[in-house]
Structure 1
Amino acid sequence: MRPRAADEIPAQGEPPRELQYSLKLDGFRALAFVLDDGKVVLQSRSRRDLAPEFPETAAHLREQLPPGIVLDGELCAYREGRLSFTDLLRSPADRARTGVPVSYIAFDLLAVPGQDVRSLPLRDRWELLGMALRDAEPPLQRVLATLDESTARDWFRDLQDAGVEGIVAKTLGSTYRAGPTWAWRKVRHMDTSDGLLLGVLGPAERPRALVVRLVDGRTATTSPQLTPAQSREVGALVGDRAGPLTPDAEHGPVRWVEPPVPVELRQLAGRQRQENPTFVRVRSEG
């Protein structure tokens, strides 16, 4: 279930209030569950298991989650009091060496032991999530959420410096279903923007840069070069969609990707229009 982008935080209706406002965190979105044999799975949107990349977090989940519970949430890294997406791309050894913790912040519940609860309205799933996590301890916790529009606007204004991306407004009566939905609307601070991954430069399984379409319709090559973790992430998702090397007058030899893939890009404030965007992540990851 993926929220649609909105320009403004939606207004709350008169009681009974219809919207829940929660923090939009800067992390890797993943389902979290424990199999009967004790194996922890952190399943990304591309169905890749992220647990081997976050072994300490997975170990805590193994201790705190019984088999049968399925959570939806974000893996979030913290550095110096703020969320640090870049640290999610580092190796577990690098994070351990620099003392960067990673938490799993749950915002929805898909199943409890013996029951699929996706057909229940969000208001019921939220209560069940609270019950499921009532004894949970960090790094596992429930996302901060409110029914009060004024509080949500305060969070949007005050928590940007802590790395919070924005606010997600969710209809309390919404069931959980796959794909994008207007029942969930996200409002993000505009230091990043959405784009489309059109092609890759270098090997399809380990690209070094991307050809993207920006919101204004221009195409550009990302810079700097992808990190090893980013290259693996993109390669795992688009490797089988990438075509053969094709010469391109603007970007050089490109492997075009069909269909294009939504991505998040960043252009630092003050950059000139002709300068290249920086790849942040594949949007299908969360």
Structure 2
Amino acid sequence: MDWPVSVALARSVPELPTGTDWSYEVKLDGHRMIMWRTGDGVRLQARSGRDVTAVWGDLALAGQYLPAGTVLDGEAVITTEDGRISFEAAQARAASSPARAHRLAAQRPAHYIAFDALQLPSGDVRPRPYSERRAALLKLLAGLPVNTPIQAVSATTDRDTALTWYNTLHKRGVEGIVAKRTTSPYRAGRTSAWLKIRHADTIEAAVVGFTGTVRQPRALAVRLPDGRVALSQRLTTALATRIAPHLVPQPERAYTQGGDACTPVSGEVVVEVIAGTTRHAVVTVVRLR
């Protein structure tokens, strides 16, 4: 399997699917991460394909206990003192320098919640059904030390149990439920075999440009799910500071469909925007994904 691997993404739906061929997983509010256990050590990959090993060193250290040749898909999460999963804490870690990330890890260690196995020492398992990959994942993780921060995501085949999780665990940092068809292989990109319902009334949008400077972007030009390119409202200072390191500006100028000029960017940067603000092509960015 070649680095970086393209990840599978869930489609948003208004309600969970029914039927006997679905498994339901809690959707945690963290950072998507691919964990590679190579023959030389551990590498951690963000959803965008970037190497983020340096800022998640505690998880890289834990991954040393995995057998060489293992590649897992999951979520890096950080909990607060009261046990709530904090996206803000994960965001702060991801945006830190390696030195600051090391200090943050000492204060709030991360956990890696694995929800899929892409490769085992025996080879690529992405073509195998989800049910087989899930069983292999549980068997693999059962061999890790008792106090490992690498754990399997909670899953059930009972839809009522999944709805109970959805209705009762929101305040603990569970942002929704992902339903996965048990017979499906692992496919990159958005697929109807993975469906999600979320509490937050937000949608994901790809960043295609910005206004202001690369060190302090003022607003973002984003491509919405319907294909429109719109300029966001002014970013907060904190949000601009988090997003700026991920922007790779290009020399030419670009324009939104509303005629706003912006500096185009390369690469894959994804943000969440409030869904109700997109009707008139003026969006409110709430966070970096």
Normalising by structure 2, we get a TM-score of 0.80
Pick one of 227, 232, 236 that aligns with 1:224: 236
The letter of the residue matching 1:107 is: F
State which of 167, 171, 177 in structure 2 corresponds to 1:167: 177
Distance 1:215 1:32, change over 3 A: closer
C-alpha distance in 2, partners of 1:258/1:36? 32
Is this contact kept in 1: 2:207–2:268, CA < 8 A? yes
- 2:33 is matched with 30
Q: What is the CA deviation profile of residues 16-54 of structure 1, one whole-angstrom value per residue up to 9, with x for unaligned ones? A: x2000001111111110222122x111122211111011
Aligned CA-pair RMSD: 3.2
Task: Name the stretch that deviates more: 217-226 or 42-51.
Answer: 217-226
Change beyond 3 A, Cα 1:209–1:61? farther
Q: CA deviation at 1:200?
A: 1.2
Aligned residues: 267
Aligned-partner residue type, residue 189 of structure 2: G
> In structure 2, what residue type is equivalent to 1:111?
Q
Identical-residue share of aligned pairs (%): 36
| Residue of structure 2 equivalent to 1:146 | 156
Contact 2:48–2:269, Cα closer than 8 Å, also in 1: no
**TM-score, length basis structure 1:** 0.81
Is the contact between residue 221 and residue 251 of structure 1 (CA under 8 Å) also seen in structure 2? no
Write the letter of the residue equivalent to 1:68: G
Work out which of the residue numbers 54, 59, 64 in structure 2 matches 1:52: 54
**Partner residue in 2 for 1:76:** 77
Per-residue CA deviation, residues 108-137 of structure 1 (Å, 9 max, x unaligned), is: 001111311111100101000011100334
- Looking at structure 1, the residues matched to 130 and 231 of structure 2 have their Cα atoms a distance apart, in angstroms, of 39
- Alignment of 1:277 onto 2:287: no
3-state SS, counterpart of residue 88 of structure 1: helix
Which moved further from structure 2: 200-209 or 69-78? 200-209
Conserved in 1, the CA contact under 8 Å of 2:22 and 2:181? yes
Query: AA paired with 1:223?
Result: L
**How many Å apart are 1:56 and its aligned residue?**
1.4
Gaps of 5+ in 2: 1-7
CA shift, 1:221, in A, is: 2.7
Mark the CA change 1:123 to 1:176 in structure 2 (over 3 Å): closer, same or farther.
same
What's the offset of the Cα at 1:275? 9.1
Q: How far is 1:166 from its partner?
A: 0.2
The one-letter code matched in structure 2 to 1:95 is L
